[in-house]
Amino acid sequence: MTRRRTRTGARTGPRTGAAAALLALALLAGGCTEVGGGVRGLPGAAGLRDPYFPKLGNGGYDVRHYALSLAYDPGTGRLDGTAEITARATQDLSAFNLDLAGLTVAGATVDGAPAAHNRAGDELTLRPREDIRDGAEFKATVTYTGVPEPITDADGSEEGWLRTDDGAVAVGEPEGSMTWFPGNHHPADKAAYDITLTVPAGLEALSNGVRTDRRTERDGRVTTVWHSAEPMASYLATVAIGRYETATETARAPGPTTGSDAGPASLPVLTAADPSVAAGSAALRGEIPEILARQTERFGPYPFSAAGAIVTEDGTLGYALETQTRPVFPAASFDRTTLVHELAHQWFGNSVTPATWRDLWLNEGFATYAEWLYAEEYEGVPARTHFARAFAQDANWAFPPATPPSAENLFDPPVYQRGAMVLHKLRETVGDAAFDEILRGWPAKYRHANASTDDFTAYAESVAGKDLDGLWDVWLYGEGKPAAP
Looking at the Cβ atoms of 416 and 475, the one nearer to ligand ARG is 416
342 binds ligand ARG (CB under 6 A): yes
Q: Which of 111, 289, 319, 461 binds ligand ARG (CB under 6 A)?
A: 319
Q: Which of 6, 157, 409, 452 binds ligand ARG (CB under 6 A)?
A: 157
Looking at the Cβ atoms of 313 and 342, the one nearer to ligand ARG is 342
Distance CA 285, CA 313 (A): 15
Q: How much of the chain is helix, strand and coil, in % rounded to 5?
A: 30, 30, 40
Least gap, CB of 360 to ligand ARG (angstroms): 8
Which amino acid belongs to residue 109? T
Distance CA 336, CA 284 (A): 7
Chosen from ligand ARG, Zn ion, none, partner binding at 319 (C-beta under 5 to 8 Å by type): ligand ARG
- Count helices and strands (H / E) in the chain: 12, 25
**Widest pairwise Cα distance in the chain:** 78
Looking at the Cβ atoms of 72 and 329, the one nearer to ligand ARG is 329
Render 163-187 in DSSP notation, one character per residue: E-SSSEEEE-TTTGGGGTS-B--ST
Least gap, CB of 175 to ligand ARG (angstroms): 8
- Site residues for Zn ion per CB under 5 A: 364, 367
Distance CA 309, CA 91 (A): 39
371 binds ligand ARG (CB under 6 A): no
Chosen from ligand ARG, Zn ion, none, partner binding at 166 (C-beta under 5 to 8 Å by type): none
**Cβ-closest position to ligand ARG:** 411
Helix (H) or strand (E) holding 231: strand 222-232
Q: Nearest CA to 341 among 416, 453, 438, 449?
A: 416
Chosen from Zn ion, ligand ARG, none, partner binding at 50 (C-beta under 5 to 8 Å by type): none
Q: Which of 321, 339, 438, 476 binds ligand ARG (CB under 6 A)?
A: 321
Chosen from ligand ARG, Zn ion, none, partner binding at 436 (C-beta under 5 to 8 Å by type): none
Q: Which of 123, 134, 153, 166 binds ligand ARG (CB under 6 A)?
A: 153
Least gap, CB of 470 to Zn ion (angstroms): 28
230 binds ligand ARG (CB under 6 A): no
Question: Which residues inside 72-101 make contact with ligand ARG, applying CB under 6 A?
Answer: none
Looking at the Cβ atoms of 344 and 402, the one nearer to ligand ARG is 344
6 binds ligand ARG (CB under 6 A): no
How many other C-beta atoms are found inside a 10 Å radius of the C-beta of residue 11? 12
Binding mask 464-483 for ligand ARG (x = CB under 6 A): --------------------
Q: What is the CA radius of gyration of the chain?
A: 24
Question: Which residues inside 126-145 make contact with ligand ARG, applying CB under 6 A?
Answer: none
How many other C-beta atoms are found inside a 10 Å radius of the C-beta of residue 403? 15
Chosen from ligand ARG, Zn ion, none, partner binding at 371 (C-beta under 5 to 8 Å by type): none
Helix (H) or strand (E) holding 281: helix 275-285
Looking at the Cβ atoms of 155 and 314, the one nearer to ligand ARG is 155
348 binds ligand ARG (CB under 6 A): no
CA 101 to mean position of chain CA atoms:
17
Distance CA 399, CA 477 (A): 9
Pairing between β-strand 239-242 and β-strand 204-207 as defined by DSSP bridges: antiparallel
3-class DSSP assignment, residue 433: helix
How many other C-beta atoms are found inside a 10 Å radius of the C-beta of residue 51? 13
Binding mask 406-445 for ligand ARG (x = CB under 6 A): -----x----------------------------------
155 binds ligand ARG (CB under 6 A): yes
50 binds ligand ARG (CB under 6 A): no
Q: Which residues contact 389 (CB under 8 A, 6 or more apart)?
A: none
Please answer whether residues 182 and 123 qualify as being in contact, where contact means their C-beta atoms are separated by less than 8 angstroms.
no
**Residues forming the site for ligand ARG (CB under 6 A):** 153, 155, 157, 159, 173, 319-322, 341-342, 364, 411
